[in-house]
Amino acid sequence: MSKVLMKGNEAIAQAAIAAGCDAFFGYPITPQNEICEYMSKYLAKSGGAFVQAESEIAAINMVYGAAGAGARTMTSSSSPGIALKQEGISYCAGAELPCVIVAISRGGPGLGGILPAQGDYNQATRGGGNGDYKVVVLAPNGVQEATEMMRDAFLLSEKYRNPVMVMADGVIGQMMEPVEINTDPLPKFEKPWAATGDSQSRGTRNVINSLFLNPVDLENHNIALRKKYDLIEENEVQVDLYMMDDADVALVAYGTPSRIVKSAIEEMRAEGIKVGLIRPKTLYPFPFKQINAAADKVKFMLTAELSMGQMVHDVRLAVNGKVPVYFYGRAGGMIFEPKEISDAVKSHLGGE
């Protein structure tokens, strides 16, 4: 198949359909509206169900229901809408329901703005819902990768019976790039736990629930979840290293900013400054080991985000005091230029 020029949001929706998404529940919000639009137009044609819910909260709870019935299901929204979904995401995590949440981020807090931002790193990786739970978070840097991560997201969600979020900033949702969507059938995981209405043939009733009133049962559930997260942290980290072999300085960035940082690296390399990029593709599980190892070889790290500084705290945890970790960020829909990154690197180099 040859490449087609597609908007990130539409490509994400198309990739979800190609990955066998059975049911989509959404509610409009800029800058992710094209996902709902595309799904409303095409999902039914491929045998799936599209429902425009009455709210974001309704949508995530419909996902809970559909996932509980064994469907491959997803929802999408943007920052304030993702905030509304947090309770439902916690319930999905508690009931161990596989589902995919696409978050096309904009500025906050509150209603914020509609332009691209990354102020939802903490919301995504720490969760806004209650309880001990984790959501796998994938962070693409472009349209092609966003479509590949949709496949990953469905696979990981079913492999671990856990919600998976694909978080991209508004740039990736809105821009068009050439894309080739993988249409190979995605394996279907057996779901013997699903509530499918055939308890008679099974001999037992399947109950989808996150309520454990007996503290012993709940602790055991918490321990089992923790073991699952340990497995995820052990096996599912994805990180891209660019020009890190001889780097004196490591820049850390994800999503669209990682591309701006790459442009800055090219400019700095041309001036003889040895800079490399560490790009986490999974925000949870976070590449702690890889960043810690890189800290042995560089003078300092600088994290660049479209926020006032969120991922930088994970980078500092990873580096564990080995070298300084600086931060450069813009927010509110303002996007830094390569030169701002170069200037920040140079100011810290000069200060030594």
Partner 1 sequence: MKKVKMVCAGFGGQGVLSVGQLIAMMAMNKSYLVSWMPSYGPEMRGGTANCHVVIDEHDVGSPIISDGITHLLAMNQPALKKFLPRVAQGGVIVANASMVKRDDSRPDIQWVMVDFYQIATEAGNQRTQNMAALGSLVRQLDGFSESDGFNIILEKFGDKNPEMVEVNQRAFTLAYHS
> Which residues bind to partner 1, rule: CB under 8 A?
3, 5, 30-31, 113-115, 142, 170-171, 174-178, 256, 259-260, 262-263, 266, 333, 335, 337-339
CB of 9 vs partner 1, minimal distance in Å:
11
CB of 14 vs partner 1, minimal distance in Å:
16
Contact 206, 196 (CB under 8 A): yes
Residue number, 89 or 139, with CB nearest to partner 1: 139
CB of 104 vs partner 1, minimal distance in Å:
11
| Coil, strand or helix at 157 | helix
- Measured CA to CA, the distance from residue 70 to residue 198 in angstroms comes to 12
Residue number, 115 or 225, with CB nearest to partner 1: 115
Would you list the DSSP string of 245-304? Answer: TT-SEEEE--SHHHHHHHHHHHHHHHTT--EEEEEESEEES--HHHHHHHTTT-SEEEEE
| Coil, strand or helix at 45 | helix
**Sign of the C-alpha dihedral computed for residues 52, 113, 152 and 180 taken in this order:** positive
| Coil, strand or helix at 77 | strand
Sorted by sequence, the CB contacts under 8 Å of residue 320 that are 6+ apart come out as 292, 295
Residue the block writes with tokens 């040859």: 2
CB of 41 vs partner 1, minimal distance in Å:
16
Residue number, 166 or 171, with CB nearest to partner 1: 171
CB of 2 vs partner 1, minimal distance in Å:
9
E strand segments, 27-97: 49-52, 73-77
Residue the block writes with tokens 């591309």: 259
CB of 298 vs partner 1, minimal distance in Å:
22
Residue number, 67 or 143, with CB nearest to partner 1: 143
CB of 119 vs partner 1, minimal distance in Å:
16
Sorted by sequence, the CB contacts under 8 Å of residue 332 that are 6+ apart come out as 107, 112, 113, 115, 117
Residue number, 260 or 298, with CB nearest to partner 1: 260
Residue number, 95 or 241, with CB nearest to partner 1: 241
* R_g (Cα) of the chain, nearest Å: 21
Residue number, 263 or 292, with CB nearest to partner 1: 263
What per-residue string of b and e applies to 72-106 under the rule 16 or more CB within 10 Å gives b?
bbbbbbbbbbbbbbbebbbbbbbbbbbbbbbbbbb
CB of 73 vs partner 1, minimal distance in Å:
28
Residue number, 301 or 306, with CB nearest to partner 1: 306
- Measured CA to CA, the distance from residue 254 to residue 246 in angstroms comes to 21
